[in-house]
Structure 1
């Protein structure tokens, strides 16, 4: 079962992200995100417990996918693919024409996963600056 994140889910979501080796988003940062498009932050439930998480956002022009993580005990069951497909459906419902995401260069298995779902590397150069 996939549903939108609820505020009481934070500890379980942080645990999944941590177990999956994904950086945990601080609660205060999530509160800001949830004020914009809470329907794009999804969790997957297995036997009533959170087993996977995907954080999506839409800037009005492009959808973005961040922080996909599945607990190692629940991998290889299609949870990540189901989360991505549900998020894509929600993006489509908003009128979003394109989805972007970032994969770190050393994450070969992650890149293979995203490519298997039709996401292709782009030659763009990522620039970032902490505020």
Structure 2
């Protein structure tokens, strides 16, 4: 089993490689820095015995005091089907529980059949909610 621990800035390039290999957009340093000022203990990495810089997977969580959210669960294709994603989620759930979080939400695109099956296997239930989003203008330094 992989060792799961809190993200460190020295992990950034390895995590970015995991995101790229998994087909996910890379979170920029400025955005990530803002996230880490709030709840750094909820950004986790899974160390892998072999692989890019020893990081095989990552997950970001957040807690606003009412609900927890899971974002950016990604496992490098070379490390899939070994329990890494399940371990990352279990550790994040435990940390959210320790913070008093009563419910966790996450988003999965409807055409991501493997993702839908994964989350349902872990006990997450689909909701018929309608998602709304509004991009906000960001400063040029972002």
TM-score range, shorter chain: over 0.9
Identify the match of residue 43 of structure 2 among 41, 44, 58.
41
**1:115-130 correspondence to structure 2 within 5 Å:** 115-130=120-135
Q: Are 1:103 and 2:108 counterparts?
A: yes
TM-score (norm 2): 0.91
Q: Are 1:12 and 2:14 counterparts?
A: yes
C-alpha contact (below 8 Å) 1:23/1:67 kept by paired residues: no
**1:85-100 correspondence to structure 2 within 5 Å:** 85-100=90-105
Q: How far, CA to CA, are the matches of 2:42 and 2:109 in structure 1?
A: 22
Alignment correspondent of 2:28: 26
Unaligned runs of 5+ in 1: none
Tell me, what secondary structure is at the counterpart of 1:35?
Answer: helix
CA-based RMSD of the aligned residues comes to 0.8
Tell me, what secondary structure is at the counterpart of 1:22?
Answer: coil
Q: By how many angstroms is 1:22 displaced?
A: 1.6
Q: Are 1:67 and 2:68 counterparts?
A: no
Alignment correspondent of 1:84: 89
Unaligned runs of 5+ in 2: 137-142
1:57-90 CA distances to partner (integer Å, 9 max, x unpaired)? Answer: 0011000000000000010000000000000000
Q: By how many angstroms is 1:117 displaced?
A: 0.1
C-alpha contact (below 8 Å) 1:2/1:45 kept by paired residues: yes
Q: How far, CA to CA, are the matches of 2:35 and 2:116 in structure 1?
A: 25
TM-score (norm 1): 0.98
